[in-house]
Amino acid sequence: MFGTSMRREHIRPIVAEERAQVADAVQIIDKLTQEGHRLTTPRQAIIKLVAPRHDHFSAQEVWDEVRERYSGIGRATVFRTLDLLTELGVLNRIHTGDGCHRYTVCETKHHHHLMCVECGNVSSLEAAGIESQIHRLASDAGFDLITHHLELVGRCADCRARGASTTISR
């Protein structure tokens, strides 16, 4: 960009030397193959991009990065791969107030999210006490709970301190 030439990588499988630096990617790839899904080279490339991320990212951001770094991967492949990784429990899909989704690479332990409607910050929240209540509510309703996602939407302490105001529909 801006007069510099960007080098686009050709898509290739992860090689042994890279395994140490992308251990999370290897775990994701193992999960994908254990569940019987094909390990295509484009899927590997997408996994290599998202696995090391510690932020909350959109599908569009992944697509933008794929376009910069690789040739031959379509937009639909990126979106379908993110959907598949979410289905496999490797990514969390976070529903934002604007109707868009953001993703995070799953933490090893179960957690929930606090989402700020002002700045867009998403924080992990461990709420061990609520887990038993959720399971009891499901059981009382005769519901066989497989998993659940809890997203608390509001304003973070920083935005409240700045006096930002948003009307939140309840």
Over residues 31-72, the pLDDT tens digits come to 899 999 999 999 999 999 999 887 788 999 999 999 999 989
pTM of the predicted protein model: 0.62
Per-domain boundaries in the chain: 1-106, 108-170
Radius of gyration of the chain (CA): 19
Q: How many whole angstroms separate alpha carbon 11 and alpha carbon 14?
A: 9
CATH number of 1-106, picked from 3.90.870.10, 1.10.8.60, 3.30.450.20, 1.10.10.10:
1.10.10.10
Q: Measured between alpha carbons, how far is residue 149 from residues 67, 152, 160 in Å?
A: 31, 10, 25
Query: What homologous superfamily is domain 108-170 in, according to CATH?
Result: Ferric-uptake regulator, C-terminal dimerisarion domain (3.30.1490.190)
Which residues of the chain, if any, have pLDDT below 70?
1-23, 97-98, 107-110, 164-170
